[in-house]
């Protein structure tokens, strides 16, 4: 089972600089906690890759999140945050039987990709390394541990900023905080670490020196794109990481044949798939998991909130919000509409200002509605869930649909139009009479605005 992989994710720190009442790793990018992005990057290595998360600060909240969302995750509790080495030590008892490869990483670096983790593991295994440290370079390496190499491949030690000499501080190659190791070779290190350093902490980085002392092979694997290990310590970092994650997604979409008219004002979650030759217009926000097919037009100013599907050649226009909506092909929702919890067929036209009323605020229940192919909904209508509107039915403008509608029917719920001929002219005439005679007994059109 040497090929088996498990991960240890460090997430016990407080994240003081967030100035927050929620734990740092639960802050979100595209509505997913930082820790979730890291766990999912690991899970994509193999469906059942287990992560052991070291929790400490507000551990109950973090644990609840993990239990509610992930199956292959275990937690271990670090009561006092005595350092990164001490954090990993808390995971050792859970891995006493484990003989495979361990990845160690942090819960606050959400930009790490599965591809990079795969490359790291491949490098580690191809070179028969015992411990591989993932490194990268920064023009300004301030704050990071510096990599001291003994040769092109091998690493001698890692020196933390606070322990570094002036010459060492000039080294631009840094420790990313991501490691890959043969677990049986390094697991004894954690009981032997000390805290004789500037910060009085048990440094995880000291496993490099420890491993070398044991005669183990310690290699450095350098990645070019240092944005992948961008860590979040503050709200500013959080917004920059959001920008980076978004940028990466937009570039990937454009490279695959999607037009993004204005990347500066467009946000698309990495979890959304978009087909070729679809055009995304400015000020569009697409969050969560969605599938948008080929040849669609989305935006400007569209908000897609997740769990949505949009079929080929459909149009979702300005000030339209979609949530949990499955829309088939050649359907238009072009202006000012809310479509939530709905199943909509093809060639459907949803008129401007249509609202799918899906939520009962008293029972707190959400219900869905279904519209079959060819349905037409007139402007300013309300579809009160649950209703089913069958094929080719026509809902007149300003209808409030509360019951199912048969195929090809016309539904109209507004009052019939009433017209009173010459009403305006007569009213003006009356006014004139009033002022002449002082008579205020008007009939229709009596001005009651002052009463
Ligand atoms: C660490 C590395 C540094 C590297 C940098 C990369 C050490 C000693 N230094 O420094 O070489 O360049 O990461 O980002 O490892 N944590 C715990 N328990 C603890 C301490 C920390 O769970 O007792 C967690 C934190 O929540 C965080 C991660 O470990 O997710 C890293 O800790 P942090 O204190 O930020 O380490 P750095 O000083 O950034
Ligand atoms: Ca850090």
Could you give the domains of the chain? 5-229 (3.90.550.10), 235-411 (2.160.10.10)
Q: Is 76 in the pocket of ligand 1 (CB under 6 A)?
A: no
Write out the two tokens for 125: 């295994």
Index of the ligand 1 atom closest to the CA of residue 231: 14
CA 80 vs. chain centroid, Å, equals 31
pLDDT at residue 292, rounded to an integer: 99
Find the largest Cα–Cα distance for the chain. Answer: 115
Q: Is 104 in the pocket of ligand 1 (CB under 6 A)?
A: no
* Cα 23 to averaged position of ligand 2 atoms, centre (Å): 14
Q: Is 321 in the pocket of ligand 1 (CB under 6 A)?
A: no
What are the start-end ranges of the E strands in 183-307? 218-222, 259-260, 267-268, 272-274, 279-280, 285-286, 290-292, 297-298, 302-304
Q: Is 83 in the pocket of ligand 1 (CB under 6 A)?
A: yes
Question: What are the contacts of 112-115 at 24+ separation with CB within 8 A?
Answer: 112/37, 112/38, 112/41, 112/178, 112/228, 112/229, 113/41, 113/228, 114/41, 114/42, 114/44, 114/45
Q: CA–CA distance from 50 to each of 7, 10, 98 (Å)?
A: 6, 14, 12
Pick the closest to residue 228 from 105, 72, 369 (CA basis).
Answer: 105
- Omega before 235 cis (within 30°)? no
Confidence of residue 2 (pLDDT cuts 50, 70, 90): low
- Model-wide pTM > 0.85: yes
φ and ψ at residue 234, rounded to 5 degrees:
-140, 170
pLDDT at 441 over 60: no
Ligand 1 pocket mutation, candidates 33, 177, 195, 228, criterion most atoms within 8 A of CB: 177
Residue closest by Cα to atom 25 of ligand 1: 13
Q: Containing H/E element for 308? A: strand 308-310
Q: Which ligand ends up closest to the CA of 16?
A: 1
pLDDT at 445 over 80: no
Written in H, E and C, the secondary structure of 166-215 is HHHHCCCEEEEEEEEEEHHHHHHHHHCCCCCCCCCCCCCCHHHHHHHHCC
Q: Is 13 in the pocket of ligand 1 (CB under 6 A)?
A: yes
- Omega before 344 cis (within 30°)? no
φ and ψ at residue 9, rounded to 5 degrees:
-115, 125
Residue closest by Cα to atom 13 of ligand 1: 177
Angle separating helix axes 34-43 and 59-69, nearest 10 degrees:
40
Summarised one tens digit per residue, pLDDT across range 404-429 is: 999 999 999 999 999 999 999 999 99
- The residues, any chain, with a CB within 8 Å of residue 332's CB and separated by 6 or more, are 314, 315, 317, 348, 349, 350
Flag the least confident range among 65-74, 252-261, 367-376, 436-445.
436-445
pLDDT at residue 449, rounded to an integer: 45
CA distance 238 to 284: 20
Per-residue pLDDT, averaged over 78-92, amounts to: 97
Which residues are catalytic, by number? 335
pLDDT at 36 over 70: yes
Residue closest by Cα to atom 29 of ligand 1: 10
Confidence of residue 195 (pLDDT cuts 50, 70, 90): very high
Ligand 1 pocket mutation, candidates 13, 58, 147, 174, criterion most atoms within 8 A of CB: 13
Residue 33: DSSP 8-state: E
Q: Is 310 in the pocket of ligand 1 (CB under 6 A)?
A: no
pLDDT at residue 1, rounded to an integer: 56
Per-residue pLDDT, averaged over 232-259, amounts to: 97
Residue closest by Cα to atom 37 of ligand 1: 144
Write out the two tokens for 13: 């720190």
Per-residue pLDDT, averaged over 163-175, amounts to: 97
pLDDT at residue 152, rounded to an integer: 84
Q: Is 232 in the pocket of ligand 1 (CB under 6 A)?
A: no
* Cα 101 to averaged position of ligand 2 atoms, centre (Å): 24
Q: Is 52 in the pocket of ligand 1 (CB under 6 A)?
A: no
* Cα 158 to averaged position of ligand 1 atoms, centre (Å): 13
Q: Which ligand ends up closest to the CA of 84?
A: 1
């Amino acid at each position: 089972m040497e090929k088996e992989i498990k991960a240890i994710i460090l997430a016990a720190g407080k994240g003081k600089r967030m100035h927050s009442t929620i734990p740092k790793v639960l802050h979100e990018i595209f509505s997913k906690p930082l820790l979730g992005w890291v766990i999912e990057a690991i899970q994509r290595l193999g469906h059942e890759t287990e992560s052991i998360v070291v929790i400490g600060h507000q551990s109950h909240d973090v644990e609840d999140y993990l239990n509610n969302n992930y199956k292959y995750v275990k937690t271990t509790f670090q009561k006092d945050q005595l350092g990164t080495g001490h954090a990993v030590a808390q995971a050792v008892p859970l891995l006493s039987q484990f003989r495979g490869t361990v990845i160690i990483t942090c819960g606050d670096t959400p930009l790490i990709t599965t591809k990079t983790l795969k490359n790291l593991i491949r490098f580690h295994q191809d070179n028969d390394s015992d411990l591989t440290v993932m490194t990268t370079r920064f023009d300004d390496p301030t704050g990071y541990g510096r990599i001291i190499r003994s040769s092109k491949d091998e690493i001698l030690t890692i020196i933390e900023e606070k322990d570094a000499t002036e010459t060492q501080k000039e080294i631009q190659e840094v420790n990313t905080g991501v490691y890959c190791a043969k677990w049986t070779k390094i697991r004894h290190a954690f009981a032997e670490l000390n805290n004789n350093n500037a910060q009085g902490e048990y440094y995880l980085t000291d496993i490099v020196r420890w491993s070398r002392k044991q005669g183990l092979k310690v290699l450095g694997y350098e990645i070019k794109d240092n944005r992948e290990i961008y860590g979040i310590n503050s709200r500013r970092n959080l917004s920059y990481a959001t920008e980076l994650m978004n940028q990466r997604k937009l570039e990937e979409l454009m490279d695959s044949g999607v037009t993004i008219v204005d990347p500066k004002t467009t946000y698309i979650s990495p979890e959304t798939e978009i087909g070729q030759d679809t055009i995304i217009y400015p000020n569009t926000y697409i969050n969560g998991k969605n599938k948008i097919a080929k040849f669609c037009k989305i935006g400007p100013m569209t908000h897609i909130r997740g769990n949505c599907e949009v079929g080929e050649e459909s149009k979702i226009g300005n000030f339209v919000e979609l949530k949990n909506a499955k829309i088939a092909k050649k359907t238009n929702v072009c202006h000012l509409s809310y479509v939530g919890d709905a199943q909509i067929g093809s060639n459907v036209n949803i008129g401007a200002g249509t609202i799918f009323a899906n939520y009962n605020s008293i029972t707190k229940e959400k219900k869905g509605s279904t519209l079959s192919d060819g349905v037409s909904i007139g402007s300013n209508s309300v579809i009160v869930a649950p209703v089913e509107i069958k094929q080719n039915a026509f809902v007149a403008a300003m209808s409030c649909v509360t019951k199912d509608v048969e195929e090809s029917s016309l539904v109209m719920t507004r009052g019939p139009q009433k017209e009173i001929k010459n009403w305006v002219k007569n009213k003006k005439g009356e006014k004139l009479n009033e002022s002449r005679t002082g008579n205020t007994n008007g009939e229709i059109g009596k001005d009651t605005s002052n009463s």
